[in-house]
Structure 1
């Protein structure tokens, strides 16, 4: 098992940021600057073409860390951030750009590309979770959530389906094609986001993925607008969702 190695640390706005590696996978852990006692952990998956410290990741982490006292961890997906692209990555990205330039459906390319990334990323996330739970401020028994939109959903759905330590999840903005069977194995509370007028992912596709989750508690957030009109206030809703489920789990008697 790979151990976690911290490589840099900084602090601002009530939050400590620590870069780390687990094996060759780089990540970042945000924690309360107060050095609070053991607290829940939220794993976050970034979007396609983004990276672990993308402003969306840092902004969501700020809400969860300073608003809830949680820890938040992100790792770079294969071929993203500080991880070099493979020849296979370059080929998939080129095919995506060609489809976009020709105004052809990009779904088949994205679904195939993301499914390949998920096969690589799920065991990496599990190794990172193993290492993070070795930290005394997180611990092996603390509640864990997962928050990922777009590529973060493509990786997160199979991860949550395979990982019993994750007890609540927020997903959204992804085609169902490669995810339905994994979604059927997910029974933890889920909040799911979609854009009602999404020009990339048909409305019926978003609804099909939401319908596939086997969770007794699942909530659909459908906002008017196109794919990139995804509202920032959904991050606040996700924070409330995790505060409700992870704080409750943390307070439960052993």
Structure 2
């Protein structure tokens, strides 16, 4: 791991890093030292490691619970080079969407192409993070990812035994039912009731397939991007229960 930049503001230390050709960011409390629980946050399709949906979760996890939080750019996004196959599949999906046609095999092919690189990238990054004094390899690890990051998150959580709790959801993908069945850790699962791109029946089918003995479905009205702010507080409490930490939000 190579730290490329660092800043401190509002009690949070931000460090940009690379692990080989994987660009990422680590947030930790500015005060204090020693190992602490780690939460990995995936970003949505076409977004990047410092997008709003990442930062809005990462900062409260650091300040409310004292966690370390990390995010990386998925292939073809952020500070990573353009990925020709991902670009081709996205263009094909956009064409079919504009024409009102089903996406067909292009959508699972897109996710498979991203995951083939992203899952090993996450595992390599986790290896490097756990060597840092501010994280360590003795503390529990969580994962947060919705939408495209929920799709890759199901794959990652099923493959990576170091992850012990996860917030997932906003994803309907029948091709992951068998993978979801291999997940046995606690899961908090989000569903937007009026999500035009992810029919509720399909999202609940994936939730039902999860092999976890402890899993909770949070369903809220509204479209894909209308997750209520209080769900951030809920995820803080969820990770505090399973990873340790204060986890008592100042607002609801």
TM-score (norm 1): 0.93
Partner of 1:68: 65
Structure 1 distance, partners of 2:231, 2:100, is 29
Structure 1 distance, partners of 2:102, 2:31, is 48
Give the CA RMSD over aligned residues: 1.3
Partner of 1:216: 213
TM-fit CA distance, 1:106: 4.2
1:131 aligns with 2:133: no
Partner of 2:151: 154
Structure 2 distance, partners of 1:198, 1:244, is 29
TM-fit CA distance, 1:108: 4.8
- Pairing of 1:27-66 with structure 2 (within 5 A): 27-66=24-63
Alpha carbons 1:95, 1:109 under 8 Å: kept: yes
Partner of 1:140: 137
Superposition misfits of 4+ residues, deviation over 6 angstroms:
none
Partner of 1:189: 186
TM-score (norm 2): 0.93
Alpha carbons 1:15, 1:32 under 8 Å: kept: yes
Structure 1 distance, partners of 2:143, 2:53, is 15
| Equivalent residue for 1:80, pick from 77, 80, 86 | 77
Structure 1 distance, partners of 2:201, 2:190, is 13
Partner of 1:251: none
**Which structure 1 residue ranges, 5 or more long, are not aligned?**
249-254
TM-fit CA distance, 1:37: 3.0
Structure 2 distance, partners of 1:107, 1:234, is 32
Partner of 1:170: 167
- Deviations along 1:37-70, one digit per CA (max 9) or x if unpaired, are 3210000100001000002211111100001000
TM-fit CA distance, 1:129: 0.3
TM-fit CA distance, 1:112: 2.4
TM-fit CA distance, 1:104: 2.6
Partner of 1:245: 242
- What SS does the aligned partner of 1:229 have? coil
1:199 aligns with 2:200: no
Aligned residue pairs total 245
Higher alpha-carbon deviation: 112-121 or 12-21: 112-121
TM-fit CA distance, 1:203: 1.1
Higher alpha-carbon deviation: 157-166 or 95-104: 95-104
- Pairing of 1:2-21 with structure 2 (within 5 A): 4-21=1-18
- What SS does the aligned partner of 1:8 have? strand
| Equivalent residue for 1:235, pick from 229, 232, 237 | 232
Structure 2 distance, partners of 1:233, 1:221, is 11
